[in-house]
Homo-oligomer: A and B are copies of this chain.
Amino acid sequence: MTRSHSIAVLPGDGIGPEVVSCALEVLDAAEQRFGFATERSEFSAGAGHYLATGELFDAVEPRLRDRDAILFGSMGDPRVTPGVLERGFILEMRQRFQQAANVRPVRLYPGVPSPIAGLTPERCEMVIVRENTEGAYVGRGSTVHAGTPNAVAMQESLNTRAGIERVVDFSFRLALGRRRRLTLCHKTNILVAAGQLWQQVVAEVGERYPEVEVDYVHVDAMCFHLPLAPERFDVVVTDNLFGDIITDLGAVIQGGLGVATSANLNLDGSAPSMFEAIHGSAPDIAGTGRANPAGAILSLALMLGHLGEGDAARAVEAATVEVLGGLPALSGAEMGLSTPQIGTRIAQIVRDGRA
């Protein structure tokens, strides 16, 4: 009997549908070659859907919950008030599906130019794990005397032992299968209460993983080390807000949004995990064929790995890296190939078994 995985596809807005359609073409090729199947359902979601229907995550949640994974394009449109989709869809999904770990590989692929002078692929091979459900993202804030000269706004960061522990434990396990080094990134000298809890949990969980070396770097110092000494890092674990910031820095280092990808992992099997490229909906180039689908296709590779299709995951990644390395530029008209041409080329390599 053929292995089959049930997948929800959310192409979203702007370039989302274009790059997701490339990823699905590559998925077809991977299924043929590696002998598995997917049952796919596509859902309309995002800014366009919200403007037309007023629907956010709530509306689609029941139909996503029993899927094995979610493949996500991108969301956003200047006509939607900033924050509405972020909070009403993206954060809501992370919460409701308990996608506790936001996992972002930061790898400089061979042939992909880094903006960091002299950086080589051997020196840049890490995974940043971002706590994805709490911290400053809990949406707790309030203002007194709003609109007066005495206004005071308070914004809270909530950190639970359980929330930290699950993502720290996951990070240690990840490090075990890699170079066995875990770095906590925080700002413990200033955010003392939250910082102490993070440090305690890392120390305690670390006792279960004596093979893994533990390191600590302040978030401000991370801005130095990440671009200038990325070889220091194997697995980096950090809180929600710091993770939001340093993973974008990681994406810069590895050559930009075109190649950066992320997994929003549910760690207890209670709901599906979600896989997406890091780039936004880029409405300015939507429909022009100038979007690089590599991020979306690499997020497909992450999804395949998560579904247990390790061979397919490796083949998709290798094919993407091969094509990426041959592009004269990573985005825009200078890529030399259009969005669908890149997708088709990667799919061919996967299908032909050349990767």
Measured CB to CB, the residues of A under 8 A from B are: 82-83, 86-87, 91, 113-118, 136-137, 139, 141-143, 145-162, 187-194, 196-197, 200, 219-221, 223-224, 227-228, 241, 244-249, 251-252, 256-257
Contacts and interface: CB of A to CB of B under 8 A. Distances in A.
A115 B189 CA distance: 28
A158 B162 contact: no
Contacts of A246: 223
A151 B189 CA distance: 20
Given A136-B191, A151-B161, A155-B193, 17 more contacts: A83-B188, A83-B192, A86-B190, A115-B116, A115-B118, A139-B192, A147-B200, A151-B160, A152-B160, A153-B193, A155-B157, A190-B244, A219-B244, A223-B252, A224-B248, A224-B252, A227-B252
Contacts of A187: 241, 244
B245 A228 contact: no
A113 B246 CA distance: 23
A120 to B, nearest CB: 13
Contacts of A116: 115-117
14 contacts: A115-B117, A115-B228, A136-B191, A141-B191, A141-B194, A149-B161, A150-B162, A153-B158, A155-B156, A156-B156, A219-B245, A220-B245, A221-B248, A223-B245
Contacts of A143: 193, 196-197
A256 to B, nearest CB: 8
A154 B151 contact: no
Contacts of A223: 245-246, 248-249, 251-252
Nearest to A240: B190
Given A115-B228, A223-B248, A252-B223, A153 B148 contact: no
Contacts of A193: 141-143, 153-155
B153 A197 contact: yes
A159 B155 contact: yes
A193 to B, nearest CB: 3
Contacts of A252: 223-224, 227-228
